[in-house]
């Protein structure tokens, strides 16, 4: 039987454990061994000798059936290395004998090259919800001989300590990688200002060599790594002051909506700017972006509205109140909701204010119901005078897009007609499409469309050469306000223009999409290439 053994490196305590893992111990077995590290002997077992070991009190002894078996020797001091570094070359010389038989010497080597993982902690404070997150972002995998090794066990102790002088209830230690604390309804369960400390201690176990071989023993390693980080929470004092300033200004403005037209109009831009900055501040807080510039802008803006927006003393830890619980003009805690929908939120308290950016309505919750109290958008102004023969290029694209190697109609370029392209009855859009054909005799069809209406078309199955490979399709689309619109067209090839006409109906001045398409008769890529799509708006004088 070939003796087998394993090694366990305990990095934290600086110890090495040698364990006999031989199978078939059916009688008395004895063993003694010597370990050298980088050429220095760090352990010599009782009775060990290079050629003639003795067996009076060997460090390893016992049988498979006795409860007094000793198969492992622990606490071999790695610190015997002059440099105190456990890495390096190890030689293990193990004498073992069964009963009173002939001893067998087994020698194995192993090179330890271990670098402990560095603990990385990500800590963030979210003042809008009065929460702190602490995340263990450490990569605990190690690389040995170019191979990444994942720990077999990871035992984490994750602790968070509140600022000195705060009223926060201490939280218990956790094994979770990601922790979120705070966000409660009382001062004892909300965050407080000043320094929060987070500590992580992780016990690790690795299998470096899985089994005993002719070259190496089985090798295991244990270690414990430590890390800490801190974050200074200071945003709440300023935000609370800003929130009260904003609430006061908004109360004055909403009161003036029905009683003081001059004040309402004078402060409209201030309200809009403050609303946008307040929403930006909340977004930045939630996304972890620096908020100092936005806070300063709000302070400057609101200071001009007779608000006291100075921060309180930040040398004393004070509770961070979630934004949703800040006092407003109502009797209950109020919020300011920024919405991009056409409906007011389902929740909220009396006194809450809601601004809808889609309709510009300002609503307030009164007696449990949302009531529109004003609109921030003024009435439309009168149309300006028409310019002299106003016109201009509104789209000019040289895409160079060609047909693929297929035989189905393909869109080569498009333009979507916008509201306002037709400002008045009689306005015209001039469309010009220039297309280049491949010099062959394949069938080719070009179409110019407005939505589903064909404005102009060109077909050829004749030989194309350098004198006739350019085709121009034009259309003049007129809007006359009667829903019976029309377009006259012109197709020019080899210098010969061919006029055309199309009429169609539309429900609004938003006509749809102008498109140029190509249709190959033969599956040849690039038979039809869109060189230019140019659209010009010509307004009626």
Q: Give the pLDDT mean for 413-440.
A: 83
The pLDDT > 90 percentage for the chain reads 38
pLDDT score at 264: 73
> Higher confidence at residue 133 or residue 237?
133
Q: Tell me: the pLDDT tens digits for 325-372?
A: 544 433 344 444 444 455 677 766 666 677 777 777 777 777 677 777
Q: Tell me: the pLDDT tens digits for 335-347?
A: 444 444 556 777 6
pTM: 0.53
pLDDT score at 228: 96
pLDDT score at 494: 74
In sequence order, what are the beta bridge partners of 121?
136
DSSP annotation string for 155-188: EEEEEEEPPTT--PPP---B--SEEEEE--SSGG
Give 5-112's CATH code, choosing from 1.10.3470, 1.10.760, 3.40.140, 2.60.40: 2.60.40
**What kind and span of H or E run contains 410?**
strand 410-416
Q: Tell me: the pLDDT tens digits for 222-231?
A: 999 999 999 9
pLDDT score at 330: 38
pLDDT score at 324: 55
Q: Give the pLDDT mean for 269-298.
A: 77
pLDDT score at 357: 73
Q: Work out the mean pLDDT of the chain and round it to a whole number.
A: 81
pLDDT score at 326: 47
pLDDT score at 428: 84
Helix (H, G, I), strand (E, B) or coil at 99: coil
Which of 56-70, 84-98, 133-147, 181-195 reaches the highest mean pLDDT?
133-147
Strands (E), 187-239: 194-209, 218-233
pLDDT score at 149: 96
Q: Provide the pLDDT confidence category of residue 206 given band limits of 50, 70 and 90.
A: very high
pLDDT score at 410: 94
Sign of CA dihedral 270, 271, 273, 277: positive
Is the separation of the CB atoms in 514 and 431 below 8 Å?
A: yes
CA distances (Å), 327 to each of 49, 248, 282, in order?
A: 84, 10, 17
Is the separation of the CB atoms in 131 and 181 below 8 Å?
A: yes
Which of 1-5, 244-248, 293-297, 397-401 reaches the highest mean pLDDT?
397-401
Q: Tell me: the pLDDT tens digits for 49-90?
A: 999 999 988 998 876 544 456 788 888 988 655 667 899 999
| Residue 468 to residue 260: CA distance in whole angstroms | 73
CATH number of the domain located at residue range(s) 391-538 in this protein: 2.60.120
Residue 308 has pLDDT above 60, yes or no: no
Helix (H, G, I), strand (E, B) or coil at 520: strand
pLDDT score at 104: 92
CA distances (Å), 358 to each of 169, 398, 433, 438, in order?
A: 43, 36, 38, 50
Q: Tell me: the pLDDT tens digits for 233-282?
A: 875 445 656 666 777 777 777 777 777 777 777 778 888 888 888 778 77
Q: What are the b/e assignments for 307-342, b being 16+ CB within 10 Å?
A: bebebeeeeebbbbbbbbebebbbeebbbbbebeee
Sign of CA dihedral 521, 526, 528, 534: positive
> Higher confidence at residue 222 or residue 183?
222
Domain borders along the chain are: 5-112, 121-204+224-233, 235-334, 391-538
pLDDT score at 333: 43
């Amino acid at each position: 039987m070939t003796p087998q053994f394993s090694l366990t490196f305990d990095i934290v305590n600086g110890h090495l454990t040698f364990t006999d893992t031989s199978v078939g111990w059916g009688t008395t077995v004895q063993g003694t061994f010597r370990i050298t590290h980088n050429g220095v002997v760090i352990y010599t077992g009782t009775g060990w000798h290079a050629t003639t070991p003795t067996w009076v009190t060997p460090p390893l002894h016992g049988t498979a059936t006795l409860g007094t078996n000793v198969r492992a020797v622990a606490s071999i001091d790695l610190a015997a290395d002059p440099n105190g570094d456990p890495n390096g070359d190890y030689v293990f010389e193990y004498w073992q004998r069964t009963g009173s038989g002939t001893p067998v010497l087994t020698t194995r080597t192993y090179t330890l090259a271990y670098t402990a993982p560095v603990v990385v902690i990500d800590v963030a404070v979210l003042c809008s919800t009065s929460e702190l997150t602490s995340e263990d972002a450490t990569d605990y995998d190690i690389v040995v001989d170019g191979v990444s090794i994942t720990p077999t066990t990871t035992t984490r102790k994750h602790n968070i300590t509140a600022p000195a002088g705060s009223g926060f209830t201490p939280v218990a230690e956790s094994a979770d990688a990601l922790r979120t604390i705070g966000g409660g309804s009382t001062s004892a369960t909300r965050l407080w200002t000043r320094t929060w400390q987070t500590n992580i201690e992780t016990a690790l176990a690795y299998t470096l060599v899985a089994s005993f071989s002719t070259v190496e023993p089985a090798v295991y390693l244990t270690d414990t790594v430590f890390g800490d980080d801190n974050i200074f929470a200071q945003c709440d004092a300023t935000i609370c002051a800003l929130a009260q300033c904003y609430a006061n200004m908004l109360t004055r403005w909403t009161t003036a909506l029905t009683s003081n037209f001059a004040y309402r109009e004078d402060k409209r831009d201030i309200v809009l700017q403050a609303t946008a900055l307040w929403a930006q501040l909340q977004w930045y807080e939630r996304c972890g972006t620096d908020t100092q510039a936005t806070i300063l802008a709000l302070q400057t803006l609101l200071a001009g509205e007779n608000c006291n927006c100075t921060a309180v003393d930040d040398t004393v830890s004070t509770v961070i109140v979630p934004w949703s619980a800040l006092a407003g003009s109502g009797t209950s805690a109020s919020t300011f909701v920024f919405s991009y929908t056409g409906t007011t939120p389902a929740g909220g308290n009396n006194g809450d204010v809601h601004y809808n950016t889609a309709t510009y309505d300002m609503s307030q919750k009164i007696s449990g119901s949302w009531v529109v109290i004003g609109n921030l958008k003024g009435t439309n102004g009168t149309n300006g005078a028409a310019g002299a023969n106003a016109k201009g290029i509104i789209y000019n694209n040289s895409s160079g897009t060609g047909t693929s190697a297929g035989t189905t109609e393909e869109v080569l370029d498009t333009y979507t007609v916008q509201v306002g392209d037709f400002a008045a009855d009689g306005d015209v859009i001039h469309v010009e499409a220039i297309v280049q054909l491949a010099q062959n005799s394949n069938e080719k069809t070009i179409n110019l469309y407005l939505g589903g209406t064909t404005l102009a078309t060109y077909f050829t199955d004749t030989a194309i050469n350098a004198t006739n490979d350019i085709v121009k399709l034009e259309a003049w689309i007129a809007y006359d306000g009667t829903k019976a619109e029309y377009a006259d067209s012109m197709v020019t090839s080899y210098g010969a223009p061919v006029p055309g006409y199309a009429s169609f109906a539309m429900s609004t001045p938003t006509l749809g999409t102008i498109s140029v398409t190509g249709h190959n008769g033969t599956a040849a890529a690039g038979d039809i290439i869109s060189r230019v799509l140019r659209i010009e708006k010509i307004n009626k004088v």
